Structure 1
Amino acid sequence: MATPRQRQFLLWQAGWMLLGIALLASVGRLTGELAFVVSFVGLVVVTALTEPIRATVDWRGRLRWPLAVGALVFAVLVAVRTFEKLVGSL
């Protein structure tokens, strides 16, 4: 059973993702890469903003893996885009 804090975290994350995707679609820039970047930034921001100050919560430890994998994918996307820009400028 999810705790109220878990539900709050999931609602904030889902809201961020839906709002980001709607905003990207409304300006005609919706791609998989941009949707991932907006969702990942949202995950990082929501995780930071909902972090308890004095208590440690067990379920938040499981966020480490999605954050690590998301950071790796983000780094790969940045590297690929940078490489494309460098090769395109030659």
Structure 2
Amino acid sequence: MTTPRQRQFLFAQTAWMLGGTALLASVGALTLEHAFVVSFVGLVVTTALTSPVHATVAWRRRLRWPLLAGAVVFVALVGLRTVEKFIGTL
């Protein structure tokens, strides 16, 4: 059974992802990498904005793993792009 806070979090994350995908598609920049970056930034922002200040909620501890995995993929994407740009200038 989900709580109202969990539903609020899920609705906010879903709205961010759909809005970001629609925006990327409207400007012609919809790629898998861009969609991932927009979704990951949305997850980080939604997690930060909806986190309680004085309490630790049990279901929010499970968000650490998707955030960690997303951060690893994000760093890998940035690293690949940096290496491509660096090699392209040689």
Give 3-state SS (helix, strand or coil) of 1:11's partner: helix
Which consecutive unaligned segments of at least 5 residues does structure 2 have? none
Q: Which residue of 1 aligns with 2:72?
A: 72
Q: Which residue of 2 aligns with 1:56?
A: 56
Whole-Å separation in 1 of the counterparts to 2:18 and 2:88: 33
Q: Which residue of 1 aligns with 2:40?
A: 40
TM-score, normalisation: structure 1: 0.99
Deviations 1:3-62 (A, max 9, x none): 000000000000000000000000000000000000000000000000101111000000
Give 3-state SS (helix, strand or coil) of 1:34's partner: helix
Cα deviation for residue 71 of structure 1 reads 0.1
Which consecutive unaligned segments of at least 5 residues does structure 1 have? none
Q: Which runs of 4+ in 1 moved over 2 A?
A: none
Q: Which residue of 2 aligns with 1:7?
A: 7
2:86 aligned partner, one-letter code: L
Identity %: 70
1:54 aligned partner, one-letter code: H
Q: How many residues align?
A: 90
Give 3-state SS (helix, strand or coil) of 1:48's partner: helix
CA RMSD of aligned residues (A): 0.3
